[in-house]
Amino acid sequence: MTTPDKGPPPDLDALHRHAYALRRTMLQMAAGKGEGYIAQGLGFADCLAALYFGELRHDPARPDDPDRDRFLLSTGHYSIAMYAALAEAGYLDRDELPTYALNGSRLPMSTFDDLPGIEVVGGSLGQGLGQAVGMALGLRLDGSPARVFCEFSDGELDEGSTWEALMSGATFDCDNLVALVDCNGIQADGPVTVRIEPVADKLAAFGWDTVEVNGNDLGELTAALAGARAPDGRPKAIVMRTTPGYGVPTVMARERAHFVRIADGEWDGLLRELDEHYGVVAHV
């Protein structure tokens, strides 16, 4: 088995800039569309920055490289965040981003794997992790150095299929698999009410090397990702506590954050809030 090299220490400043850029792009994509899964996207931006500009071994010029690390976005409705990341990383032309969610766009409201850089069809939730386990096993059979990273949400912990996949990941010793659990505390009907906690303890009890981090802290995220490289025969899980709308106080304050509605005139204000959060002098 190949040991992934330790690599240089992460450039946290650069990651911050990418996370800021992702958030800005998302707000611009959603602007004028009145609504969307912007709260989840803003909450998940730091993880995407840490993956695409740090942890993942990937080449946007070769999205079909058999030895690329795979990133699976199980929650297809986080598409806005995914497209922002794919554009920032060079998979997508920025000019295409404004078509997000429009009729006939290649960037629909939910993710489909006909777009380069998207590994699975999201949307029907609870289907990501099982596919990630299968990919991890197949890549291992082929002696590939590639690793598999799979995002899924706290809501997906309601689905039995997620727990079935968790057991498989441990049973088949998938140490080339990293689960990224986005615990943002909300699901479609409001706050998470199913008793999924304590998530980290449960995953550990299911045989996963588990750490819990503030998912909006790039230092904690990158340290957890570095710790997940150990080829010790066990799958890895990073339980990320994220804040929906992170970086944009008005969105963070929304009670119904699953699907926020924003009036046409409000978007510029949200961009200004984001700039303030990052201490950036307003763009003109």
Partner 1 sequence: MSSTAPVAGRTRGMGELIDVPDKTTVLAPFGTTLAELGRERPEIVGLTADMGRYSDILPFRDAFPDRFFNVGMAEQNLISMSAGLAKVGKIAYCTTYSVFVTRRAYDFVAIACAHSKANVKIFAGMPGLVNGYGATHQATEDLNMMRGIADLTVIDPCDATELQQVVRAVADIPGTVYVRLPRGRVPVDLDPDSYRFEVGQAKQLRWGGTTGIISTGYMTARALDALSVVADRGIEAGVLHVPTIKPFDVASVLEFARGYERIVVAENHKTTGGLATLVIETLFDAGLLRPVERIGLADSFFECGSQEYLEAKYGVDLGRFVEVLTSSRT
Ligand X SMILES: Cc1ncc(C[n+]2csc(CCOP(=O)(O)OP(=O)(O)O)c2C)c(N)n1
Binding residues for partner 1 (CB under 8 A): 33, 35-36, 76-77, 93, 95-96, 99, 101-106, 108-110, 112, 121-126, 155-156, 158-160, 187-190, 192-194, 259, 261
Nearer Cβ to ligand X (196/223): 196
Compute CA 225 distance to the chain's CA centroid, rounded to the nearest angstrom.
Answer: 13
- Which tokens sit at 109? 């409201």
155 binds ligand X (CB under 6 A): yes
Shortest Cβ distance from residue 252 to ligand X (Å)?
A: 14
Q: Is 114 left (phi over 0), alpha (psi -120 to 50) or beta?
A: alpha
184 binds ligand X (CB under 6 A): yes
Cis bond leading into 4, ω under 30°?
no
Cβ-Cβ contacts under 8 Å for 74 (sequence gap 6 or more): 120, 122, 125, 126, 127, 128, 129, 150, 151, 152, 153, 156
123 binds ligand X (CB under 6 A): yes
207 binds ligand X (CB under 6 A): no
Nearer Cβ to partner 1 (35/201): 35
* CB atoms inside a 10 Å sphere around CB 267: 18
Nearer Cβ to partner 1 (259/278): 259
- Which tokens sit at 47? 């993880």
111 binds ligand X (CB under 6 A): no
- Which backbone phi and psi does 241 adopt, to 5 degrees? -85, 110
Q: Are 135 and 141 in contact (CB under 8 A)?
A: no
User: Which of 19, 21, 40, 237 touches ligand X by CB under 6 A?
Assistant: 40
* Residue 103 binding partner per list ligand X, partner 1, none, with a CB distance cut-off of 5 to 8 Å that depends on partner kind: partner 1
186 binds ligand X (CB under 6 A): yes
- Which tokens sit at 130? 């099982």
Nearer Cβ to partner 1 (194/230): 194
* Residue 94 binding partner per list ligand X, partner 1, none, with a CB distance cut-off of 5 to 8 Å that depends on partner kind: none
* Residue 109 binding partner per list partner 1, ligand X, none, with a CB distance cut-off of 5 to 8 Å that depends on partner kind: partner 1
The residue type of 136 is: A
Q: Cα(33)–Cα(269) distance, rounded to whole angstroms?
A: 15
131 binds ligand X (CB under 6 A): no
Q: Cα(46)–Cα(68) distance, rounded to whole angstroms?
A: 21
* Residue 121 binding partner per list ligand X, partner 1, none, with a CB distance cut-off of 5 to 8 Å that depends on partner kind: partner 1
188 binds ligand X (CB under 6 A): yes
Q: Cα(55)–Cα(81) distance, rounded to whole angstroms?
A: 17
77 binds ligand X (CB under 6 A): yes
> What is the size of the binding site for ligand X (CB under 6 A)?
16
Shortest Cβ distance from residue 49 to partner 1 (Å)?
A: 24
Q: Are β-strands 148-153 and 177-183 bridged in parallel, bridged antiparallel, or unpaired?
A: parallel
Contact residues for ligand X (CB under 6 A)?
Answer: 40, 75, 77, 123-126, 153-156, 184, 186-188, 258
